[in-house]
Amino acid sequence: MFGIGTKNIGIDLGTANTIVYVDGKGIVLREPSVVAKNSKTGEIVSVGEDARAMIGRTPASIVAIRPMKDGVIADYDTTVAMMKYYIQKTLGSSNGKPYVMVCVPSGATEVEKRAVIDATRVAGARDAYVLEEPFAAAIGAGLPVMDPTGSMVVDIGGGTTDVATISLGGIVSSRSIRMAGDKLDEAIVAYVRQHFNLLIGERTAEQLKWDIGSASKSAVSADDVSSIRGRDLITGLPKTIDVSAVDIAEAIHESVEEIITAVKETLEETSPEIAADVIDHGIVLTGGGALLHNLPDVIADATKVPVFIANDPLDCVAIGTGESLKSIDVMKKK
Ligand SMILES: Nc1ncnc2c1ncn2[C@@H]1O[C@H](COP(=O)(O)OP(=O)(O)OP(=O)(O)O)[C@@H](O)[C@H]1O
């Protein structure tokens, strides 16, 4: 679909979303990391946005699977099928297999990285290379990663939050925690069940987080409410209730605190020179989680460092991966 002869592609293989970047073209595909399969035959029914719409709504014969969990591969075969579909959709009938750069969380083990490389090759890559997510995020956010000055990036995705300080083209200190968007959604589901006896699905919880979620309890009002539908745990029947922004802030409070602790701990490990640079330039937030209301203020308050949201935070990792494609030629010679 996207032209003959494009041989290098970058993939942000995320827990929530997969984004594909083609050298010379930019981002060409942005889809949820979801695959719907026939549960008996294993046949793929749909991939991406269509499959996401099926989550929580499938009949017994179909399962909607999110093959990535906590930033790494949880279901190898389904990940391969998903990547194969996206690579083919991106490159169409162009001849030749692409070289592919894929992002992994900074906390991924060697085994987890190897699984990503193998899956990418099986999915159709001539060869595959991995890049650490916070480094890609920093490039995508336009930070001066090659300069002798410290930058700090906090990438909050669906599965992991990656915090890193970067200088002179390398990660100086980093932390990757399995606490990000998905865990906030789970916390909302649990809170609504506990406080309202209502069972809601993960998509409803995510929508609540987008609409009225806040990292700060004091910055929101109990008058800011949202109507949600679910199943009443007592009667077993469908029910609609109103929940407020204060409820949702309370629900995700502990999870947000864990993210803040990871940022503080990374700062504490940072050398005085880099810490001084970070104070001057601020901390940059990337990933979809950066869009949680009031998050920059809460992190700035806890660290006493200015905090900014990158432009297009959801695309930073993919853009950074794409920019790094230039180094594939160097990697190929190794
Ligand atoms: N406006 C918003 N407010 C709060 N959270 C949001 C918003 N928009 C997106 N998100 C959350 O961002 C997360 C997805 O972000 P992103 O696409 O950066 O993650 P990913 O790259 O798929 O995950 P990972 O990097 O952990 O593998 C989801 O949890 C989503 O709910």
Distances (CA, A) of 252 to 182, 185, 288: 11, 8, 16
Do both 32 and 173 map to the same domain?
A: no
Mean of the pLDDT values across residues 12-19? 96
Least confident of 73-82, 109-118, 229-238, 318-327: 318-327
Interatomic CA distance for residues 263 and 306, integer angstroms:
13
**pLDDT over 80 (residue 262):** yes
Is 3 part of any domain?
no
Confidence of residue 333 (pLDDT cuts 50, 70, 90): low
CATH code at position 58: 3.30.420.40
Confidence of residue 231 (pLDDT cuts 50, 70, 90): very high
Do both 66 and 210 map to the same domain?
A: no
Ligand 1 environment, Cβ below 6 A: 12, 14-17, 71, 133, 157-160, 180-182, 206, 209-210, 213, 287-289, 291-292, 314, 317
Tally of domains in the chain: 3
pLDDT digits (tens, 9 = 90+) for 16-69: 999 999 988 999 999 999 999 998 999 999 999 999 988 888 888 899 999 999
Is residue 15 part of an annotated ligand binding site?
yes
Is 270 part of any domain?
yes
Is residue 159 part of an annotated ligand binding site?
yes
Is 225 part of any domain?
yes
Distance 287 CA to ligand 1 centre (A): 6
Do both 290 and 168 map to the same domain?
A: yes
This prediction has a pTM of 0.94
Interatomic CA distance for residues 18 and 34, integer angstroms:
9
Do both 27 and 106 map to the same domain?
A: yes
Distance 289 CA to ligand 1 centre (A): 5
Least confident of 177-181, 183-187, 322-326: 322-326
Q: Which of 201, 228, 252 is the last residue of a domain?
A: 252
Do both 163 and 218 map to the same domain?
A: no
Q: Which atom of ligand 1 is found nearest the CA of 16?
A: 22
Percent of the chain with pLDDT over 70: 96
Residue having the nearest C-alpha atom to atom 16 of ligand 1: 157
pLDDT digits (tens, 9 = 90+) for 134-161: 999 999 999 999 999 999 999 999 999 9
Q: Which atom of ligand 1 is found nearest the CA of 71?
A: 27
Interatomic CA distance for residues 190 and 183, integer angstroms:
10
Ligand 1 pocket test, pick from 70, 189, 209 with the greatest ligand atom count within 8 Å of Cβ, gives 209
pLDDT digits (tens, 9 = 90+) for 104-139: 999 899 999 999 999 999 999 999 999 999 999 999
Percent of the chain with pLDDT over 90: 88
Is residue 206 part of an annotated ligand binding site?
yes
Is 105 part of any domain?
yes
Beta-carbon contacts of 278 under 8 Å, excluding residues fewer than 6 positions away, are: 150, 151, 152, 165, 267, 270, 305
Do both 12 and 35 map to the same domain?
A: yes
ipTM above 0.95, yes or no: yes
Mean of the pLDDT values across residues 173-192? 97
Q: Given phi > 0 = left and psi -120 to 50 = alpha, else beta, which region is 6?
A: beta
| Residue range(s) defining the domain that contains residue 239 | 181-252
Interatomic CA distance for residues 231 and 1, integer angstroms:
43
Distance 143 CA to ligand 1 centre (A): 21
Do both 305 and 168 map to the same domain?
A: yes
